[in-house]
Structure 1
Amino acid sequence: MSNVLNADAKGVFVIAVTPFTESGELDLASTDRMVDFYLESRATGLTILGILGEATKLTAEESRTFVKRVLARVAGRVPVIVGASAAGFAPMRELSTSVMDLGASGVMVAPAPTLRTDDQIVAYFDMVNTTLGADCPWVLQDHPVSTGVQMSTSVVLRVLKNSPACVMLKHEDSPGLAKLSALRAASDKGDLKRVSILTGNGGGLFLPEELTRGADGAMTGFAYPEMMVDVCHAHASGDIEKAHDIFDAYLPLARYEQQSNIGLAVRKYLMAQRGVIASAALRKPGPKLSEADIADIDRLVRRQTRRLQEIQ
């Protein structure tokens, strides 16, 4: 394994949760176990301080502490990407410089939610290039559900053409299969440099189809990251039907985890149940699962376990 981030990246970059204690403090012991869990699940990379990493609830000092702990535990075995979207370019530069100095492999940037026109989006990422510099590999995050910014295929192509240090697209348009096909066709024809395309739609809810359309893997979160790893491995080996069978076994739980209001609480509950993190706590404000939610989840886990045994 290597911690280098480049346009050849493939596999599964897991979006990590941020573990907290019941009182809301960073749980660094659980952070170590979580990193071990992701690597034992054969993740090819990690992404931290993402939207579902509760990054906006951390102070700057807590963010540095968490990044430092993850990087120390990973110890260069896989690339680690850090979310660096910020309200302004000065804090973006400060955070990016800080995490790269700590040993991160690259940063991820989404368009600012104030952007409205195609030209504004392109100009924004021109400034991102200036802010990050030529030596900082970065990931373009296309997630209109969270940013409110719709980037058309032509705009993404313009941004990538203007961005030599952008080595990866995190494709999260929903479902965006036609966009994915068009972007991969552009690089296949030589109209665009090849970049890694990792998909993030709702815990991988379209992963088999996205792999068929030319995605290189997944960058998203799910309490069972081995699902994404096994689907990618089966697909890469040419066993498309097996990839779909594995995916189908996990789909009901993956779907349940993607609820807009309680999804992260579901993921943390499952990770606590699996012994990965000590507490399922979200930092306030955050939802709590009801007894009915937990009954749903436990039923889905039992059904998933049975189905996986049947397809082995």
Structure 2
Amino acid sequence: MFSGSIVALITPFTQDGEVDFVSLKKLVDYHVAAGSDGIVAVGTTGESATLTVEEHVKVVSKTVEFAEGRIPVIAGTGANATHESVTFSRLLNDSGIAGCLSVTPYYNKPTQEGLYQHYKAIAEVSDVPQILYNVPGRTAVDMHPETVARLAEIENIVALKDATGDLDRVKIHRELCGDDFILLSGDDSTGLDFVRLGGQGVISVTNNIAAKEMATMFRLAKEGRYAEAEAINNQLMPLHKNLFVESSPIPVKWAAHQLGLIANGDLRLPLTELSEQARPIVAQAMAESRIS
């Protein structure tokens, strides 16, 4: 259902702070042409925390509209309040999305039982497939494999995006959740190894500016041609690492603007533009990765 190279899409803004739907359409067309396997609209990389509910729903709906059925769109529906995630899931249930991606509640630091009840409540109000998202480095809570396994028993919870970078968890999750449960990496640096160990794909930041290369890499991996895939991965490694030189999505939005994919690299506070000191680092990573 979900596999290959899926982009954690940035949300472009105009210089006056509004959503830039012209650039959004350009981004969707770019990923269709490049062969990306899916789009996550308004996930955490899409600055979901700073969009209003109305903006959030509109960006997802417009992404589906721009996709025109050419590429599946997954909606980011995560929040640190369960009722907010439930609201997003209800509002987007009939929007044409292929699934929902919900990050673990940030700052609250819920218990494992709290995480279970959070995701169970979301799944109960939606008919679309649900993807769990564990990224303890940004949320300060780690969803344990045993909790993932409990949630995998709920019919429409079908996948996990694991951004821990802990490759040992691939085998653990597979053993606990079964062969039908989808495992997706959320860590570009280890994404190819994640698939080599039994994952189905990656939800990627790098894909925002290297969509064709990422799509080719994971297509090769699916065919078992890992030596060729590894060559592309090595080429892209400077991006995998240095697109996080400052808090994501600051660097990748700057890079996307440099490539002409979006009209500007503006973000919403509390995020600010890429610093002067970091710009040469990202520019060098782009050059080393042969992205121009």
TM-score by length of 1: 0.86
- For residue 137 of structure 1, what is the aligned residue in structure 2? 129
- For residue 294 of structure 1, what is the aligned residue in structure 2? 279
Tell me how far apart the structure 2 counterparts of residues 304 and 85 of structure 1 sit (CA, whole Å). Answer: 32
- For residue 227 of structure 2, what is the aligned residue in structure 1? 241
Maintained 8 Å contact 2:238/2:286 = no
The correspondence for 2:8, drawn from 3, 15, 18, is 15
Tell me how far apart the structure 2 counterparts of residues 108 and 290 of structure 1 sit (CA, whole Å). Answer: 30
Maintained 8 Å contact 1:262/1:288 = no
User: What per-residue deviation string (whole Å, max 9, x for no partner) do you get for residues 113-135 of structure 1?
Assistant: 434433333233333333x24x2
RMSD: 2.1
1:181 equivalent to 2:171? Answer yes
- Identify if the C-alpha distance between structure 1 residues 58 and 302 changes in structure 2 by more than 3 Å, giving closer, same or farther: same
- Identify if the C-alpha distance between structure 1 residues 119 and 59 changes in structure 2 by more than 3 Å, giving closer, same or farther: closer
- Identify if the C-alpha distance between structure 1 residues 117 and 286 changes in structure 2 by more than 3 Å, giving closer, same or farther: closer
Maintained 8 Å contact 1:13/1:44 = yes
- Identify if the C-alpha distance between structure 1 residues 158 and 266 changes in structure 2 by more than 3 Å, giving closer, same or farther: same
Maintained 8 Å contact 2:103/2:134 = yes
- For residue 206 of structure 1, what is the aligned residue in structure 2? 190
Query: Structure 2: which 5+ residue stretches go unaligned?
Result: none
**1:238, distance to aligned residue in structure 2 (A):** 1.8
TM-score by length of 2: 0.91
1:275 equivalent to 2:266? Answer no
Maintained 8 Å contact 2:80/2:104 = no
- Identify if the C-alpha distance between structure 1 residues 158 and 33 changes in structure 2 by more than 3 Å, giving closer, same or farther: same
Query: Structure 1: which 5+ residue stretches go unaligned?
Result: 1-7
Aligned length: 289
**1:287, distance to aligned residue in structure 2 (A):** 2.4
Alignment of 1:41-190 (within 5 A): 41-113=34-106, 114-130=108-124, 132-133=125-126, 135-161=127-153, 163-173=154-164, 175-187=165-177
Give the 3-state SS of the residue equivalent to 1:291 in structure 2: coil
Maintained 8 Å contact 2:79/2:104 = no
Give the 3-state SS of the residue equivalent to 1:205 in structure 2: helix
- Identify if the C-alpha distance between structure 1 residues 129 and 67 changes in structure 2 by more than 3 Å, giving closer, same or farther: closer
User: Greater CA radius of gyration, 1 or 2?
Assistant: 1
Maintained 8 Å contact 2:86/2:121 = no
Maintained 8 Å contact 1:115/1:121 = no
Give % identity.
24
Amino acid at match of 1:168: A
